Chain A
């Protein structure tokens, strides 16, 4: 089944404790991205990747890191999480770039205390 998976789905952590949210797609998509969703603000892009080893900042990249060592995986890293990073995070992928249908993962609800 073609899909985008994320893990974990729920995470409660404390300020400053490094964490990684994994994202994987099995559709051989070149374009992958991370979004955060906050009430009233819609979906804001954090980082995106056009292909392996090619990543770029989105609208709200501060406090986040990403890597794209393999085509299927695009982990989101929070080196020192802070409470303002409490949010719902979605990973998404599309065939070649943002001008194609984005397939979203199930979401990761992160709470930073």
Chain B
């Protein structure tokens, strides 16, 4: 089955700096890659996603890049703010008989004011 690895597990940045979280996946048939943000004590919520026919997608301060050859994708947050502090999860979905969404282990991002 699919395996998704996420790095780093914790990330501390100064307010205003950029943050990058990286994920790798194992199944080359994966074609949908969402990112979820989970604030303390809350449920995960989708912040951005990308499909395999696109190399990059941007939404204001958030961007995701996908390298299908290398089987990795990354989340980029620019001009970080304290409210960006949360746990971020990447995930991968494979379009085959198994309709499972496989998540990475999560990255705890701390933005210091």
| Given the contacts A99-B93, A106-B43, A42 and B6 also touching, CB distance less than 8 Å | yes
State whether B1 touches A104 (Cβ < 8 A). no
List A contacts of B32 (CB < 8 A).
98-99
List B contacts of A105 (CB < 8 A).
43
Q: Does A90 contact B (CB under 8 A)?
A: yes
Task: Select B46's contact among A40, A48, A58, A102, beta carbons within 8 Å.
Answer: A102
State whether A102 touches B101 (Cβ < 8 A). yes
A-B pairs under 8 A by CB, number:
61
Residue of A nearest to B107 (CB): A42
List B contacts of A107 (CB < 8 A).
43
Binding site secondary structure of chain B: strand
State whether A48 touches B100 (Cβ < 8 A). yes
State whether B100 touches A59 (Cβ < 8 A). yes
CB distance from B35 to the nearest CB of A (A): 11
Residue of B nearest to A49 (CB): B99
List A contacts of B44 (CB < 8 A).
43, 90, 102, 104
State whether A104 touches B99 (Cβ < 8 A). no
Q: Total interface residues on B, using CB and 8 Å?
A: 27
Bound-state CA distance A68–B68 (Å) is 35
Bound-state CA distance A48–B97 (Å) is 13
State which residues 82-103 of B face A: CB under 8 Å.
89, 91, 93, 95, 98-103
Bound-state CA distance A102–B80 (Å) is 25
Residue interface bits B1-42, CB-to-A below 8 A is 1, else 0: 100101001000000000000000000000110101000000
State whether B89 touches A42 (Cβ < 8 A). yes
Bound-state CA distance A44–B1 (Å) is 13
| Given the contacts A43-B103, A59-B1, A99 and B95 also touching, CB distance less than 8 Å | yes
List B contacts of A35 (CB < 8 A).
103
